[in-house]
Amino acid sequence: MATRTAEVQRRIVSKDGHNKVRVDNVEGMVKLYLHDIWTTVVDMKWRYKLTLFASTFVMTWFIFGVIFYFIGMGNGDFDPDLSANRTACVVNVKTLTGAFLFSLESQTTIGYGLRYISEECPLAIFTLVAQLVITGLAEIFVTGAFLAKLARPKKRAETIKFSKSAVICRRAGKLCLMVRVANMRKSLLIQCQLTGKFLQSNVTEEGEKTQIHQSSVDFFMDSSGECPFLILPLTFYHVLDEHSPLTGLNAENLQTRDFELLVTLNATMESTAATCQSRTSYVPQEILWGYEFKPMLFSTTGGRYVADFNFFNKVKVTNDAVVLSNNTEKLKLEEDYKKE
């Protein structure tokens, strides 16, 4: 395999599909995040989400405990000369700690029975009702965010694997760029569609230079336009013809070109019918000219097929002498002759 120069290239999308674009100097960023609080909470990292979950309970226990403490203080429940015929708002609550424990017992419905609200104090009754309603809504929100994060199709997309390198060789007489994709679970992915975006700097006809210009890259599976189901590792290909944004690419300029090929797989999960999306990207150093993927699907004596992932990223030099010699002009003449 040809030795590749280990150059550091800027990426928009990492190999595992994460966005690597940093957003700076956005006015009112906090306000924007709070305006869509549901998405903000769902997108939180787990350590922040667990902190939010714990603090939601602790803070509501403490806040309403303080309210009950001030209600008792205003009612004179803590006076040492409290008359025997006078009923306290919250019975057996004499300190802030006792008020906190009463708030905890009420919200979690533990009900030890030692501390309770008397019917002589309407304000305490109203506060208790407000606590149960407000904290119930807060618990629903936080629990729903937990379930939404666990059930996100993003986790299913992490079990979709792309080949580390893309290869360029001839397929069915045409020069093609190929990418291998595999489903790591036994559950099927149906209605699979692989699309690509070719990202590079560009100068418009008006002389304006754009840092990133996007061009669509179509990927196919064999000769059919139907969406395959991903049960076996599949190889998708893109034809490098005059309609391709990668036209003019050859073994020499591949080493010096500055671009990024973003590849996205959209699929439907058979078990839940939810859609998932997985993506990766390839820079020129990860595209191999004149190579093809080694076979990784084998049959056993028991009549079963085995997908050996030891060969998933393995490539070999193509036997096509025209591609190896990088004779693109001869390739074009051959294709034109077949069209005639």
Domains of the chain as residue ranges with CATH: 29-151 (1.10.287.70), 155-339 (2.60.40.1400)
Q: Is a pLDDT exceeding 90 seen at residue 17? A: no
pLDDT at 134: 92
The arrangement of strands across the sheet holding 260-269 comes to 209-218, 189-203, 260-269, 275-282
Q: Please state, rounded to an integer, the average pLDDT across all residues of the chain.
A: 82
Q: Is a pLDDT exceeding 50 seen at residue 3? A: no
- The 3-state DSSP class for residue 21 equals coil
* Residue 2 backbone dihedrals phi, psi, to 5 degrees: -65, 145
Report the Cα 78 to chain-centroid distance in Å: 55
**Which residue is it, tokens 């309770």?**
116
Structure tokens at 166: 């893309």
Q: Are 92 and 138 in contact (CB under 8 A)?
A: no
Handedness of CA 135, 137, 141, 147 (dihedral sign): positive
**Which range has the top average pLDDT, 55-64, 140-149, 313-322?**
55-64
Rounded mean pLDDT, 211-232: 76
- The 3-state DSSP class for residue 316 equals strand
CA separation for the pair 152, 217 (Å, rounded): 27
Report the Cα 305 to chain-centroid distance in Å: 31
Lowest mean pLDDT among 78-87, 117-126, 164-173: 78-87
The radius of gyration computed from the CA coordinates of the chain, to the nearest angstrom, equals: 32
Structure tokens at 120: 């002589």
pLDDT at 226: 63
pLDDT in tens, 280-315: 999 988 999 889 999 888 888 877 888 888 999 999
Rounded mean pLDDT, 22-50: 83
pLDDT at 322: 60
Cβ burial of 266 (10 Å; 0-12, 13-18, 19+) is middle
Angle at 173 between CA 170 and CA 178, to 5 degrees: 30
Least Cα distance to 127 among 135, 10, 46, 14 occurs for 135
Cβ burial of 118 (10 Å; 0-12, 13-18, 19+) is middle
34: CB partners within 8 A, 6+ apart: 40
Length of the chain: 340
CA separation for the pair 245, 242 (Å, rounded): 8
Least Cα distance to 187 among 104, 276, 248, 289 occurs for 276
